[in-house]
Amino acid sequence: MVVALTDLVVAGLTAPVTEDERVAASKPPYPVPAARVGPRARLLGELTSRLPSEGDGPRTVTRIKGTPVRYRDVVASLGRPGRFDFADAACALIAVGALHDVDALAGFLPSYSGARRQQVLNRLADDDLAGARAAAERIGDGLSWVGYRDIGAALADRGDTTEFFRDWKRYAATRDRHGIAELRRRLVTGTARAAGWRAALAASEDPRVGPGFARFALCTLDIEDLRRVLTGEAAGVLSETDELTVLANAVRIASGHNPGHDHPHLAEIVDRIIAVDPTTDKATMRWRDAELFGLWPAFGNQATLDRVRAAVRTPQYRRELKLLPRNVHELRPMP
């Protein structure tokens, strides 16, 4: 008899487990409760058979507030010894389009399950924006904003400011402030890549984003273009620390791997960062030291390394700033 995948998941979720089995399953060798052996084996087989021959499969989310990961990683996790989460298996099957009747499962799934959110990701993967919005609306417990943020992230990455702001009120900006800050950053960065730094800067000027994200508008510029823009059209737009942060990142990229000498613009950037008064406050001191230490991959001259080591105040950074990048590479044993 062929058993539908939905029925297999329900069978696993509702299988009776004795207290002794529950205790035994919590420690090595993690025996599977008897009533769950069959459904677990069948579902693992279904999941494994759908692994792609190349790549890692679709983005898969197993928790309503979790981070999407690769389908291949979810299958690998479910195949390890330990508790087999049938709700996670359901999410993975939804991700690969093998399980469609989520409504029939809804009453059996735990509140933490990302099944409804996975439907949002599936619609986004198909470039079905209307379908993704409809799927987000079906997320219960007042958590539709989580699905809408997935939509917002996709729109941000493509630099679609119009559609992004259309859903702004549904992102619940007062909740999970770290997450909403990341969404703002992605919007400015995505707009810079799609439409250029001017459009990205305009996006950062929207009060729903804010000037604190303006530096991400310049993320696509190389060091030469960045210097030109910061002394021209965008002069004075960024704070001194934000300007130095983007310059430091650009010169680090321009320096390449294990440079034999300093980039022509490195000294000026190092001078400006060192000139920032570390006694202003602890946050400024930490920023200053982190930026100087973060420039280490760009150091080609010993004199620059010595100067930065003398300037930083964080003991850990001073201990680590002893060798140039190319010297560290030379000390590593050959494979």
Residue 136 lies in a domain: no
Residue 89 lies in a domain: yes
Residue 131 lies in a domain: no
Pair 122, 4 in one domain: yes
Rounded to 5°, angle at Cα 194 from 220 and 71: 95
> Which residue range(s) make up the domain with 205?
142-211
Is the Cα dihedral 194, 200, 206, 209 positive or negative?
positive
Pair 195, 230 in one domain: no
**Is residue 2 predicted with pLDDT exceeding 60?**
no
Residue 183 lies in a domain: yes
Give the end of a domain, one of 211, 231, 258. Answer: 211
Question: How far apart are alpha carbons 98 and 45 in whole angstroms?
Answer: 13
Could you report how far apart the first and last alpha carbons of the chain are, in Å? 54
Pair 154, 110 in one domain: no
Token digits of residue 292: 């100087």
- Which pLDDT value is given to residue 1? 43
**HSE-CB for 179 with a 13 A CA cutoff:** 17
Q: Give the number of domains in the chain.
A: 3
* pLDDT per residue as tens digits for the range 284-299: 999 999 999 999 999 9
Pair 203, 230 in one domain: no
Least confident among 24-28, 33-37, 166-170, 179-183:
24-28
- Alpha helix positions (H), the chain: 5-14, 19-24, 34-49, 71-78, 86-95, 102-106, 115-125, 129-137, 144-157, 161-166, 177-195, 197-204, 223-230, 240-255, 266-275, 282-294, 302-311, 315-320, 325-331
If you average pLDDT over every residue of the chain, what do you get? 96
* pLDDT per residue as tens digits for the range 223-246: 999 999 999 999 999 999 999 999
Contact between residue 295 and residue 308 where contact means Cβ atoms under 8 Å apart: yes
Pair 3, 121 in one domain: yes
**Is residue 169 predicted with pLDDT exceeding 50?**
yes
Residue 244 lies in a domain: yes
* pLDDT per residue as tens digits for the range 27-86: 999 999 999 999 999 999 999 999 999 999 999 999 999 999 999 999 999 999 888 999
Of 23, 42, 213, 9, the closest CA to residue 115 belongs to: 9
Pair 231, 202 in one domain: no
Pair 122, 3 in one domain: yes
Pair 227, 185 in one domain: no
Pair 311, 202 in one domain: no
**Is residue 183 predicted with pLDDT exceeding 50?**
yes
